Structure 1
Amino acid sequence: MNGGPSGFTNAPVTRSFVIASALFTIFFGIQGRSIKLGLSYQDVIVKLRIWKLVTSVFAFSSTPELMFGLFLLYYFRVFERQIGSNKYSVFILFSIITSLLFEVLAISLLKDPAANLVTSGPYGLLFASFVPFFFDIPVSTRFRVFGVRFSDKSFIYLAGLQLLLSSWRRSILPGICGILAGSLYRLNVFGIRKAKFPEFVSSFFSRFSLPSAGNPPAAPTRNVRGNMPSFVGRQVERSHPPVPTATEPPENSIATLVSMGFDRNSARQALVHAGNDVNIATNMLLESQSH
Structure 2
Amino acid sequence: DKAPLSKSLLLVLSAISILLTLLFQHYQKFFAYNLQAIKEDFQIWRLVCGRTICLDLKDTFCSSLLIYNFRIFERRYGSRKFSSFLLGAWMLSALFDLLLVEITQYIFGITINSLPSGFLGPVFALFVPFYSSIPRVQVTQVLGHFSITNKSLVYILGLQLLTSGSYIWILALSGLISGICYNSSILKVHRILCVPRWVAKLFSWTLEPVFSSAEPTNEVRVGMGATVDIQRQQRMELLDRQIMMSQVAQMRRQRQQQGGMINWNRLFPPLRHRHNANYQDHRPSEQGIPPPTEVSEEQVARLMEMGFSRGDALEALRASNNDLNVATNFLLQH
TM-score by length of 1: 0.66
1:31 alignment counterpart: 24
* In 1, Cα distance between equivalents of 2:303 and 2:76: 4
Out of 43, 50, 71, which is 1:56 matched to? 50
Deviation at 1:57, TM superposition (A): 2.3
* In 1, Cα distance between equivalents of 2:211 and 2:303: 21
* In 2, Cα distance between equivalents of 1:66 and 1:43: 24
* In 1, Cα distance between equivalents of 2:141 and 2:303: 29
* In 2, Cα distance between equivalents of 1:128 and 1:91: 9
2:97 alignment counterpart: 103
Out of 148, 151, 157, which is 2:155 matched to? 157
Deviation at 1:49, TM superposition (A): 2.1
Opposite residue 18 of structure 2, the aligned amino acid is I
1:72 alignment counterpart: 66
2:232 alignment counterpart: none
Opposite residue 14 of structure 1, the aligned amino acid is S
Deviation at 1:207, TM superposition (A): 3.1
Q: Secondary structure at the match of 2:73?
A: helix
Q: Secondary structure at the match of 2:135?
A: coil
CA RMSD of the aligned region, Å? 3.3
Q: Secondary structure at the match of 2:117?
A: coil
Greater RCO (CA < 8 Å, at least 6 residues apart):
1
- Taking a change above 3 Å as real, the CA distance of residues 260 and 56 of structure 1, as seen in their structure-2 partners, is farther
Opposite residue 181 of structure 1, the aligned amino acid is S
Opposite residue 78 of structure 2, the aligned amino acid is G
CA contact (8 A) 2:4 2:211 kept: no
CA contact (8 A) 1:130 1:179 kept: yes
Q: Secondary structure at the match of 1:150?
A: strand
CA contact (8 A) 2:2 2:213 kept: no
- Taking a change above 3 Å as real, the CA distance of residues 82 and 212 of structure 1, as seen in their structure-2 partners, is closer
2:13 alignment counterpart: 21
* In 2, Cα distance between equivalents of 1:118 and 1:212: 33
Out of 118, 133, 137, which is 2:134 matched to? 137
- Taking a change above 3 Å as real, the CA distance of residues 113 and 143 of structure 1, as seen in their structure-2 partners, is closer
Larger Rg: 2
Opposite residue 157 of structure 2, the aligned amino acid is A
Deviation at 1:212, TM superposition (A): 3.9
* In 1, Cα distance between equivalents of 2:4 and 2:77: 13
Opposite residue 21 of structure 1, the aligned amino acid is L
Opposite residue 22 of structure 1, the aligned amino acid is S
CA contact (8 A) 2:141 2:148 kept: yes
* In 2, Cα distance between equivalents of 1:87 and 1:109: 32
Q: Any unmatched runs of 5+ in structure 2?
A: 217-255, 261-301, 313-334
Opposite residue 15 of structure 2, the aligned amino acid is L
1:83 alignment counterpart: 77
Deviations 1:158-195 (CA, angstroms, capped at 9, x unpaired): 00110111113x21110110000001012202323456
* In 2, Cα distance between equivalents of 1:58 and 1:123: 8
* Percentage of matched positions with identical amino acids: 27
Higher helix proportion (structure 1 or 2): 2
TM-score by length of 2: 0.58
* In 1, Cα distance between equivalents of 2:182 and 2:307: 28
CA contact (8 A) 1:98 1:181 kept: yes
Deviations 1:41-63 (CA, angstroms, capped at 9, x unpaired): 42222222222111122211211
- Taking a change above 3 Å as real, the CA distance of residues 62 and 165 of structure 1, as seen in their structure-2 partners, is same
Deviations 1:59-84 (CA, angstroms, capped at 9, x unpaired): 11211211111111111111122222
CA contact (8 A) 1:82 1:260 kept: no
Q: Secondary structure at the match of 2:164?
A: coil
* In 1, Cα distance between equivalents of 2:28 and 2:112: 15
* In 1, Cα distance between equivalents of 2:73 and 2:37: 33
- Taking a change above 3 Å as real, the CA distance of residues 108 and 45 of structure 1, as seen in their structure-2 partners, is farther
